[in-house]
Structure 1
Amino acid sequence: MTKDILIHQIVDVLKQANFIVSKRCNIRPRSFDLAARKDNILLFCKVLYNIDGLNEETAHEMKALARYLGGSAILVGAKTRDQMLEDSVVYMRYDIPAVNVQTLYDYFVENVPPLVAAAPGGLYVSIDGDVLKEARTKQAMSLGTLATELGVSRRTISKYEEGGMDASIDVVLHLEELLDVALAKSIDILQAFEKKLKEPPMPIEEKKYPQEDNVLDMLHSLGYQVVSTSQAPFKAISKDNHDTMLTGVSTYSSAMIKRADLMSSISCVTQTRSVFIIKGPTKSETVENTVLIEEKELDRMAGPEEFVSLIDEKTKYKKH
């Protein structure tokens, strides 16, 4: 299976689940391959045939993008090391959940979450401790008796009931057979990011950008919080109290037009503005939904209000 086939399968699954999916990010380097939205769920999806190919720098940027744009990062692949990814199993790479296409389908289309997590040493299941304790008590079975049946210590059973320890699949199956009750807790693939969605925005440190990034410095001076990127199709995310903008910086060229078109597609999914600051003259006002603004125009701005007014003027953008 090639990466292209894998991406087509993922797009098909997401569309079956009624996600709006961006164009494929085919510009290198890239921290994600697809952005997708369904209601309040925003995904930044990285596709790797072998999930071990994800490096720490890319993972860090994926998580940062998800954090600042209110979404979740997810990795979809086919294998790890010399083994194929198993169905209904969640693997973690740099705190980003990784699954195969079937697990993605089950989770988003069939609404069937996975139950198993891969970890060093094997596959593990999280036990519902309250259900375990209730079932054990109902059968008048002591901690010691149950521990003996399983061949583990009483402390291990206590930890299962306290929710402080996951168990192997064999142990969970044995427990469920002994107590005649379902004990496995499902895994919310996006749970790692849900808490972050509720947190206040991460503070942005005051910073000066390198000389080649003086445009980002200008935006910062206008009052925007500017988060620069190194692997995304855009140069930065710029935010103030009212707007979030995917921000590109380049001279006018065919490569810039291609990038601006991709930014437009992503901005439709992320529900942000898309702006490209052009160093030198520009030959057009927009590329799809991406507004093109010359650097000299930006230099004349006194604040974000003037900047937004110029964007509105170029796009005939009207707020509802």
Structure 2
Amino acid sequence: MTTDNSKITRENILHDVKILLSTYGFKTSDIYDRSCFDILSRKDDILIILKILVNIDSLTATQAEELSKIAGTFLASPIIIGYKSKHNYLEEDVVYERHELPVISPQTLCNIIVNNIHPEVFAKRGGYYVKINGNLLKELREQNHLSLKELADISHVSRETIYKYEQGNSQTYPETAIMLEKVFNSPITMSINLLEADNIKNTLDKRISEPKELINLGYDIKSSNKTPFDAISERQNETQEIIKLKEKLENKIDEVEKLRNELNKKINNNILITNLERNRNEKTLNKIANKTEDIANITDHDAIFVLEHEKDKDYIKKIPAIYTWELNDMDNIEDLIKLIKERKEEAETEES
């Protein structure tokens, strides 16, 4: 991804990023200029949520918090793509941070997507740092029959420093890592995989009291700010199937990755992207439906409209319309899931 510095605009970066992702097999959403995120993109089990800026210092704490919560709810990886800060241009293959979210340049994203080259260097106050693979360092030291002190003397650091590296306190300057790598003629630094969402802990937490019909069926309704949809509806209680999967995950270390993927799929089924009527006219509802359908396709979640006033349609665009009286007549969530499926199929049949 080559860039002409004299023509850098947010629109140009957005355009280039979307083409990059689409070219390399990612299913990519529309661009949402007034949202806390700009693009959602999925490839297999990887879901990334991107905010594009020219100057990364323009990201506010409020935007970052909402983006982090949306990413956590969807089990997505949040990434800020930027070109410069107030004082410097972003360097290639370096991970920066703003409000606890990772920030990279467009070229770094290109290296990750095109060449599967993940950055190893991250920038913090005080300079650039890398993380050392402590287990590998200890293994190499023992293979070469070196004591902690002997390795420390060779690499011009203290014995205590080598011990900390091996115990997992692995943050250090790149120069120190290079010196250790020269000793063993082997790479020992760890790459930073920004496409992994395992460490995302924030989720939407602002509960609202509408639509009460979904709440009565056992959903938590959590509102989202500056997103193309109104809320996320999530089942309040874990099913026995999810509880059993978590127990297996704790007891079978060798099957962690397989079980995590299975668990995530089950958890994902809990989420409904939810839109409310709120006295909106049909034109506005159609506009919301277009955006919601796009996001539902990328995140692989179902979406619905909850409507209070009777209309002559069971869906808006391709989004099922569920009426409050229908929700009141339902005995359990399974009834709702069945109705959503039926109306999705009706909408798809009508489309074809």
Same fold? TM cut 0.5: yes
Distance in 2 (alpha carbons) for counterparts of 1:40 and 1:58: 25
Question: Quick check: 219-228 or 305-314, which moved more?
Answer: 305-314
How many equivalent pairs are there?
A: 306
Q: 2:176 aligns with which of 152, 171, 181?
A: 171
**Alpha carbons of structure 1 residues 311 and 138: separation in structure 2 relative to 1, 3 Å:** closer
1:256 is aligned to 2:285 = yes
Q: Is the 8 A contact 1:133 1:161 kept in 2?
A: yes
Distance in 2 of aligned mates of 1:299 and 1:162 = 57
For residues 50 and 119 of structure 1, what CA distance do their matches in structure 2 show? 17
Which of 9, 15, 30 aligns to 2:16? It is 9
* 1:100-139 map, 5 Å: 100-139=105-144
Greater Cα offset, 141-150 or 263-272: 141-150
- The one of 45, 52, 73 equivalent to 1:47 is 52
Counterparts of 1:10 and 1:103, CA distance in 2: 11
8 Å CA contact 2:39, 2:49 repeated in 1? yes
The corresponding residue for 2:104 is 99
Which of 298, 321, 336 is matched with 1:292 structurally? Answer: 321
Partner amino acid, structure 2, of 1:264: E
Aligned to 1:229: 224
Partner Cα separation in structure 2 for residue 150 and residue 164 of structure 1: 17
| 1:153-208 Cα shifts (integer Å, max 9, x gaps) | 221122122221311112222222233221211112134x22569xxx98989x65
The residue type equivalent to 2:13 in the other structure is L
Tell me if structure 2 keeps the 8 A contact 1:67–1:196: yes
Distance 1:108 1:288 in 2: 33
Deviation at residue 317 of structure 1 after TM alignment: 5.4
- CA shift for structure 1 position 305: 4.4
Q: 1:290 to 1:62 in 2, by over 3 A?
A: same
Find the partner of 1:244 among 252, 255, 271.
271
Q: CA separation of 1:83/1:236 partners in 2, compared to 1, >3 Å: closer, same or farther?
A: same
Asked if the contact 1:311–1:317 (Cα under 8 Å) also holds between the matched residues in 2, the reply is no
Determine whether 1:194 maps to 2:221. no
Conserved 8 A contact 1:282-1:294:
no
Task: Report deviation, 1:277.
Answer: 2.9
Pairwise CA RMSD of aligned residues? 3.0
Paired AA for residue 9 in structure 2: T
Contact preservation (8 Å) 2:69, 2:203: no
| Structure 1 residue aligned with 2:162 | 157
Which residue in 2 is equivalent to 1:19? 26
* TM-aligned CA deviation for residue 309 of structure 1: 4.7
**In structure 1, what residue type is equivalent to 2:31?**
R
Of 251, 266, 274, which residue of structure 1 is paired with 2:295? 266
Distance in 2 between residues matched to 1:282 and 1:3, nearest whole Å: 41
- The residue number in structure 1 matching 2:242 is none
Q: 8 Å contact 2:40–2:298 — kept in the other structure?
A: yes
Tell me, in whole angstroms, the C-alpha distance in 2 between the residues paired with 1:37 and 1:114. Answer: 20
Give the letter aligned to residue 289 of structure 2.
Answer: A
Residues 79-90 of structure 1 mapped to structure 2, 5 A cutoff = 79-90=84-95
Secondary structure, aligned partner of 2:11: helix
* TM-superposed deviation, 1:229: 1.0
In structure 2, how many angstroms separate the alpha carbons of the residues matched to 1:188 and 1:208?
35
State the one-letter code of the partner of 2:228: P
The C-alpha deviation readout for 1:263-293, integer Å capped at 9, x for no partner, is: 1011011111221234546575434322234
Deviates more, 1:244-253 or 1:263-272: 244-253
Q: Is the 8 A contact 2:77 2:200 kept in 1?
A: no
User: What do residues 208-256 of structure 1 show as CA deviations (whole Å, max 9, x unaligned)?
Assistant: 53xxxx32x3321232222221122111111346553211124124333
Q: 1:61-111: CA deviations, max 9, x gaps?
A: 223222222322222111223212111111233332221122212222211
Q: Which moved more, 1:300-309 or 1:94-103?
A: 300-309
Q: Secondary structure of 2:233's partner?
A: strand
**Conserved 8 A contact 1:252-1:278:** no
Deviation at 1:3, TM superposition (A): 0.9
Q: Give the whole-Å Cα distance in 1 for the aligned partners of 2:154 and 2:336.
A: 70
Change (3 A) 1:300 1:171: same
The letter for the 2-side match of 1:21 is T
Q: What's the offset of the Cα at 1:114?
A: 1.1
